[in-house]
Amino acid sequence: MLNFTLKQLAADLTARRVSSIEVTQYFLKRINALGKTYNAFISVDEGQSLAAARAADQLIAAGKAGPLTGIPLAHKDIFCTKGWLTTCGSKILSNFVAPYDAHVIERCHQAGAVIAGKTNMDEFAMGSSSETSFYGPVRNPWDTAAVPGGSSGGSAAAVAARLVPAATGTDTGGSIRQPAALSGICGLKPTYGVVSRYGMIAFASSLDQGGPFAKTAEDLALMLNVMAGFDARDSTSLEREPEDYARNLAKSVTGLRIGLPSEFFADGVAPDVAKAVDGAIAEFKQLGCETVEVRLPNMRLSVPVYYVLAPAEASSNLSRFDGVRYGYRAPQYSDLLDMYCKTRAQGFGAEVKRRILIGTYVLSHGYYDAYYIKAQKLRRLIAQDFVAAFRKCDVIMGPTSPTTAFNIGEKAGDPVQMYLSDIYTIAVNLAGLPGMSIPCGFGNKNHPVGLQLIGNYFGEAKMLNVAHQYQQATDWHMRMPEGIRTEW
């Protein structure tokens, strides 16, 4: 069961070869035994999980099973989950129990999934290493001295360590794809608006997008089938006909045009990462794909553009955390203003404060036109580069991250170096495109390397087809860290 895919687990549950209670107990046992090693979870509630598993078994027995009925999933602790602690990895929400479900949680409930727990993350999704959490850093199952990536590092570590078969995450500048790459699993960020942001605690509203983590591209398709869908409560949710993201998995990729941006293969990428990515591209050529060179000339501006726009939106979104209505409140204060100041000073971590200050600065009088408006204009140029590139190719490929997993604390004192961890992923969010990362080999210290696939708007099914065909020819995605216990 340890390395079963969602498809295999669903088949066994439907055939009643195993019960949801047994599957849930199995993974809860793993979480209890190994969860602290990786610090992957913030909240686990065995009572609620097993109650949901019993209800799932009843649905299966009655022939009313959904696509994920009885399968335990982990959710990033950024999704409001009714009756569960929802902290966003922050002290300021450390006592907040959500009174309602996010749209993603609702969709998973409707599909019959069981909540195994809420996963650790960078505070308010601000980070690339899952070190900024109030609950301490997440550790990479391939090397516990290293980070798993961020901000969805808890979800990535949980899937990599086989504590759950799949998990949800969010991606604002690479926060699904980068931890998927560093943790040796698959992760997908859909086209902006495909997955509702309702109930997903906001960081940067024009960039945030929910998506899945899993072991295989096929499992990502099954997860996205559940997570995607129009939601009138989210003004940015796209009203489209439902689609089956697994429909093209078996399709041949012969003749597929792979775009290789020169900007992805410049001096910034580490040699061990470049070697693994080159090997993956060679495998695609064996599968009958063609490669073409494309240009993304404005991609070099994506990091500075992102770190103007995202903090600007964060400074507005995080103004609601003031100690008045919910969450942490400073225990001692002299008046209302003092309460606001002390609550936010004590409740937010250093990285969150840094981004709020930057965002407030770029939105302030005299700097709005110089920074924020200019960044929005550059954002449009970055998106136009992708439009031009997709006239020449069907999918774009390159490294997900410029390096493999770095050590905990290695970049914590240098924000700029930390921000550059997302240099290959941020442009995808700025353009609103779909992107994913799949394992394609190993680099130094046996750390995983991720291959990034970028699709055109609403091109998730094509990306998943390309990834699935690669995974039929290779087994990188089924490799497991040596440190995890395989039997009980």
Domains (ranges, CATH) in the chain? 6-253 (3.90.1300.10)
Stretch 134-158: mean pLDDT, rounded? 98
Residue 453: predicted pLDDT: 98
Q: What is the tens place of the pLDDT at every residue in 302-325?
A: 999 999 999 999 999 999 999 999
Give CA–CA dist 72/90, Å, rounded. 25
Give the span between the Cα atoms of 11 and 142, in whole angstroms: 29
Catalytic residue among 133, 151, 183, 421: 151
Interval 40-64: pLDDT, tens: 999 999 999 999 999 999 999 999 9
- Which tokens in the block code for residue 5? 């895919």
Q: Is the pLDDT of residue 486 over 70?
A: no
pTM: 0.97
CB 184 within 8 A of CB 175: no
For residue 106, name the pLDDT band (cuts at 50, 70, 90): very high
The CA-based dihedral angle spanning residues 193, 195, 199, 202, taken in that order and rounded to the nearest 10 degrees? -50
Catalytic pick among 19, 76, 133, 237: 76
For the question of residue 175 being annotated catalytic, the response is: yes
To the query of whether residue 151 is one of the catalytic residues in this protein, the response is: yes
Average confidence (pLDDT) over 394-421? 95
Give the mean pLDDT of 96-119.
Answer: 98
User: Would you call 128 a catalytic residue per the annotation?
Assistant: no
Per-residue pLDDT at 355 exceeds 90: yes
Look over the chain and give the mean of its residue pLDDT values, rounded to a whole number. 96
pLDDT (0 to 100) of residue 267: 81
Minimal CA–CA distance to 151: which of 171, 124, 175?
Answer: 175
pLDDT band, very low/low/confident/very high, at 268 (cuts 50, 70, 90): confident
pLDDT the model gives residue 487: 52
Each residue of 169-203: pLDDT tens digit? 999 999 999 999 999 999 999 999 999 999 999 99
Q: Exactly one of 90, 155, 175, 183 is catalytic; which is it?
A: 175
Q: What is the average pLDDT across 457-484? A: 96
Strands 290-294 and 257-261, by their bridges, are parallel
